[in-house]
Amino acid sequence: MFILEFKTVGKTTQYSAIDEAIKTVKFIRNKSLRFWMDNKGVGQKGLYNYSTLLRKEFPFVTDLNSSACQASIEPTWSAISRFYDNCKKPSVKKKGYPKFKKNQRSVEYKTSGWKLSEDRKSITFTDKKGIGTLKLKGSRDLNYFQIDQIKRVRIVKRADGYSVQFNIKEDVRAIKPREYEPTKHCVGLDVGLKYFYADSDGNTVEIPQHYRKAEKQLNKLNRRKSKKFRKGKPVSRNYLKAKNRYARKHLKVSRQREEFAKEKALRLIQSSDLIAYEDLAVKNMVRNRHLAKSINDVAWSTFRRWLEYFGYKYGKITVAVPPYNTSQDCSNCGQKVQKSLSVRTHVCPHCGFICDRDINAAINILKKALSTVGHTGTFVFKAINAWGEDASILIGSNTCQGKQPR
């Protein structure tokens, strides 16, 4: 499965109809959650049946396609089932009780309620919400896929407009993937707050700090938005305009961060056959109020996600190793050298090895990945990728010839 996204071109009345459909989805989602709270033992089938009752009771729910009503139940049941699973795990302190949806930004259709044009350049929504025909703007060609391969169609509302996403059942490796010659090179990566990453070859990439650079302008736009707000009075059009400008700036920063992580991940996949990195618990690390903003700005999770995606697509191996003592151990002799986070240079008193702290950690990360199968002979290393399939690569003295640690 993968998603193709297209920008939409429509009229103001069509966008208003989309907003109405999104409000209906939020209504169904919150009503179904309340129904589950008031009735013990209700399962997923019971929620589906309740959505049918809502269609009979409320005319505006009837106007929405029945498959879209069912799709709006699925996130609610997903939150409920996740809550049940967390209750069974004593190690999870916060069970995550399902909450009512406050901001809904999408409406999702299954295999009905929409129809593509013959040239696949526009899509028509056939329910009674009145969305009608929307033109699709994008560089990808939908003619490459069969209609029955499109399993979901989602309309997404963002600060800069509306988009249509197509969930297509197809292996990304089958869509004419570019083949890269084996490089016979392995690399270890250490992400941090000084560098975006430092690799085991001694290379470093600076952090672009997209949010930090835009923070002054974001604060200015936020102040303008706040000045337009009047408590106890109806929301003015000027306030909505100021709010949209502020949201568009945030959207731009997030896209810059995403594109930077994607570019660096693809370059690493092109230049290496195996990429090793730390298996960091970013969700726990951002609880540090002194470092949370910097950690979110550097986007470690986004970078890892793109590494795993491109590794799967082009048949390269990505290995996540435990981060324990990767910065403390000496990559040359293996002895532990205790140092605080402020010490940026690794100096080993045992063997005299000196190098940058992050590069030393990157070498340790690579050695940990290779030690899974040993250093001699030829072995097969298997890793489970993000799609749940095995990816294999030969690791040994004749396959991975990365830069040897000094």
User: Average pLDDT, stretch 250-261?
Assistant: 95
Dist. CA 107–CA 105, nearest whole Å: 7
Query: Is residue 115 a part of any domain in this protein?
Result: yes
Q: How confident is the model at residue 371 (pLDDT cuts 50, 70, 90)?
A: confident
Q: Is residue 212 part of a domain?
A: no
| Percentage of residues of the chain with pLDDT beyond 70 | 91
Amino acid at 56: K
- Go through 253-281 and write b for each residue having 16 or more CB atoms within 10 A of its CB, e for each that does not: beeebbebbbebbbebbeebbbbbbbebe
Q: What is the pLDDT of residues 327-346, one digit of tens each?
A: 888 888 888 888 888 888 88
Is residue 291 predicted with pLDDT exceeding 70?
yes
- The residue assigned the tokens 């795993």 is 308
pLDDT at 392 over 60: no
Q: The whole model's pTM is what?
A: 0.84
In the predicted structure, residue 280 carries a pLDDT above the cut 80? yes
Domain-embedded: residue 181: no
Of the ranges 250-264, 341-355, 366-380, the best mean pLDDT one? 250-264
What mean pLDDT comes out for the span 273-295?
A: 90
User: Measuring CA to CA, how many Å separate 368 from each of 280, 334, 335?
Assistant: 15, 11, 14
115, 199: one domain: no
Which of 142, 170, 198 represents a domain boundary (last residue)? 170
* Same domain, yes or no: 310 and 203: yes
- CB-side neighbour CA atoms (13 Å) of 91: 0
pLDDT of 306 above 80 = yes
The reply to whether 13 and 116 lie within a common domain is yes
Spatial neighbors of 312 by CB under 8 A, at least 6 apart, are 172, 173, 385, 386, 387, 389, 391
Same domain, 330 and 196: yes
Q: Are residues 387 and 363 in the same domain?
A: yes
CA nearest neighbour of 405 among 181, 250, 188, 97 = 188
Of the pLDDT bands very low, low, confident and very high (cuts 50, 70, 90), residue 7 is very high
pLDDT at 393 > cutoff 60: no
> Which of 8-17, 21-30, 171-180, 314-323 is predicted least confidently?
171-180
From CA 378, how far away is CA 16, in angstroms rounded?
62
The pLDDT value recorded for residue 399 is: 39
pLDDT of residue 381: 36
Mean pLDDT score across all residues of the chain: 87
Q: Is 330 inside any structural domain? A: yes
Least confident of 224-233, 281-290, 326-335, 394-403: 394-403
Q: What is the mean pLDDT of residues 162-172?
A: 91
- Res 96 pLDDT > 50: yes
Which CATH number fits the domain that encloses residue 272? 3.30.420
For residues 139 and 28, state if they share a domain: yes
Tokens of 6: 């297209």
Closest of 162, 129, 131 to residue 24, by C-alpha: 129
- Say yes or no to pLDDT of 373 above 90: no
Q: Which residues contact 231 (CB under 8 A, 6 or more apart)?
A: none
Task: Examine the pLDDT at 394 and tell me if it is beyond 80.
Answer: no
Mean pLDDT of 251-271: 94
Q: What's residue 188's pLDDT?
A: 93
* Residue 44 and residue 116 share a domain: yes
158 with 270, same domain: the answer is no
HEC profile for the chain? CEEEEEEEECCHHHHHHHHHHHHHHHHHHHHHHHHHHHCCCCCHHHHHHHHHHHHHHCHHHHCCCHHHHHHHHHHHHHHHHHHHHHHCCCCCCCCCCCCCCCCCCEEEECCCCEEECCCCCEEEECCCCCCEEEEEECCCCHHHCCHHHEEEEEEEEECCEEEEEEEECCCHHHCCCCCCCCCCCEEEEEECCCCCEEECCCCEECCCCHHHHHHHHHHHHHHHHHHHCCCCCCCCHHHHHHHHHHHHHHHHHHHHHHHHHHHHHHHHHHHCCEEEEECCCHHHHCCCCCCHHHHHHHCHHHHHHHHHHHHHHHCCEEEEECCCCCCCECCCCCCECCCCCCCCEEECCCCCCEEEHHHHHHHHHHHHHHCCCCCCCEEEEEEECCCCCEEEEEEECCCCCCCCCC
In-domain check, residue 234: no
Q: pLDDT grade, residue 172 (50/70/90)?
A: confident
Confidence grade of residue 176 (pLDDT, cut at 50, 70, 90): low
192 and 272 assigned to the same domain: yes
Q: Judge whether residue 382 has pLDDT over 70.
A: no
Predicted local distance difference test score (pLDDT) of residue 18: 96
The candidate with the shortest Cα–Cα distance to 76, out of 98, 93, 57, 56, is 98
Instruction: Kindly state the average pLDDT of the residues 343-355.
Output: 88
Quote the longest CA-to-CA distance of the chain. Answer: 78
| Domain shared by 133 and 270, yes or no | no
- Measuring CA to CA, which residue among 268, 271, 261, 272 is closest to residue 305? 261
**Predicted local distance difference test score (pLDDT) of residue 207:** 93
Q: Which domain holds residue 309?
A: 186-207+258-396
Find, among 7, 8, 31, the residue nearest to 104 by Cα. 31
Residue 387 clears pLDDT 70, i.e. is over it: no
Query: Is residue 63 situated within a structural domain?
Result: yes
Contact 346/379 with Cβ under 8 angstroms?
A: no
pLDDT beyond 60 at 323: yes
Identify residue 320 by its one-letter amino acid code.
Answer: A
Token reading at 50: 């309740």
pLDDT of residue 170: 86
Position 315 scores a pLDDT of 87
Would 98 be classed as within a structural domain?
Answer: yes
Query: 144 and 193 in one domain?
Result: no
Answer whether residue 219 is part of any domain.
no
**Which whole number is the average pLDDT over 160-166?**
94
User: CA 370, CA 36: separation in Å to the nearest integer?
Assistant: 49
> What pLDDT, in 10s, does the model give residues 24-82?
999 999 999 999 999 988 999 999 999 999 999 999 999 999 999 999 999 999 999 99
Q: Work out the average pLDDT over 77-103.
A: 92
Counting the structural domains of the chain, the total is 2
78 and 86 Cβ atoms separated by less than 8 Å? no
What is the C-alpha to C-alpha distance for residues 367 and 63, in angstroms, rounded to an integer?
A: 60
Q: Are residues 133 and 190 in the same domain?
A: no
